[in-house]
Amino acid sequence: MDTLAKDKVEIGLVLQGGGALGAYEFGAIEALLKLMDDIDRAGRAVTLAAVTGVSIGAINAACVVGAADRADARRRLQELWSELSLGNHWWGIADHDLALFGVHGFYKPRYDYWDVLNWMNFYDTSPMLETLKNHVDFAALNASPTAFVVTAVDLSSGELTRFRNHGREGDQQGEIKPQHVLASGSLPPGFPATPIGDRTFWDGGIVDNTPLGDAIEAFSGAADVDRILVVMNLFRNKRAAPKNMIEVNDRLSELRYGNRLRQDGANAAVINELLQTIEALSASVPESARTPDLDRRLTQAQRFKTLGAITNIDLADSDLVKAAGLSEEAEDSSAFRDFSAAGIERRRSAGYRLAHVKLDEVFKSHGLLPALH
């Protein structure tokens, strides 16, 4: 077995927002859960320490944590995406844009045109509240040992707020309900802000579309634990120049929501170097001078070494795309809103293949699966 292998394995999963691109996450989650089953059968103790998400990632995350077990999570995701599917049509060329007229189970157009001058959004997202109730077991989600964290932005204060099933000081406390998940996906100007108590919230991706820190904080500090942080990056780097205003907006979204993770990855080496320095200095402190507080702070800091081991399932990774047997050609910019059955299935399949290739390699390198698996 690989020398990196430890007695226990904790996995953190971070899911971005990206509309219909969330179907990539659907497939990737299926691959992850299957491989976790394989690790269990190999006799290792593997747990999902945290699932964090934004927007469509928050919805996918709720299906995973709000489930009885891994098989139930897969079933709930399949049923969710089946409900969100717009089906296939003989005029398939228009599938990308059909979502402009609404997505069953997600959102529908407003029809109060007489009041259009007072509109602050174009759609009504109340259907998603019912969809969440149908596909997420919120009692299981709130009782789960897996940390569930979704983010939203307070419309008035601009504060990034976290909704958790495990309360922490400074965050919104209380039971996670459908409106908390919906708040994380309330992206303006298409969607309305979601009221919770006396506050209203927009999509958390406006501030941070990849909540890495919340997943890292959920890892235990035990020395005998192997920690693996899995992140799905839904956005490609390269694309032809936009040809119209819709494509300009699509490209803006890609650059805004996809590049933060890549910047975090570039900073990981700097963070690790600082932590190595801290560890070296700590080792030189005489035992008599060590205090419980110093040891606690060192343990807390060591968690952030996980940043150096991000397992990034990135659609912009040409080597990974080739290894998964997929085309490197970028999808149309309108893929954000392509909820056609064919589009969803294509992305689900691609997400599964990308994640299986990447995770199989990572898990084997950690000694979690047989080398010939």
Amino acid identity for residue 239 in this structure: R
Other residues' Cβ atoms within 10 Å of the Cβ of residue 4: 11
Q: Which residue has the tokens 């059968």?
A: 41
> Among positive and negative, which fits the CA dihedral 85, 88, 94, 98?
negative
Q: How far is CA 76 from CA 134, 146, 173, 188, 253, in A?
A: 9, 17, 26, 27, 28
| CA end-to-end span of the chain | 13
Q: Is the separation of the CB atoms in 49 and 10 below 8 Å?
A: yes
The one catalytic residue among 55, 186, 253, 333: 55
Distance, CA of 30 to CA of 370 (rounded, Å): 20
Q: Which residue has the tokens 């995350």?
A: 61
Q: Is the separation of the CB atoms in 352 and 81 below 8 Å?
A: no
Tokens for 304? Answer: 């952030």
154 carries an active-site annotation = no
Q: Is the separation of the CB atoms in 13 and 230 below 8 Å?
A: yes
Tokens for 142? Answer: 């709130």
Amino acid identity for residue 172 in this structure: Q
95 carries an active-site annotation = no
The one catalytic residue among 203, 264, 314, 317: 203
Peptide bond just before 189 cis, omega within 30 deg:
yes
Q: For residues 352, 358, 363 and 369, what is the CA-based torsion angle, rounded to 10 degrees? A: 60
Other residues' Cβ atoms within 10 Å of the Cβ of residue 148: 26
Annotated catalytic sites, by residue?
55, 203
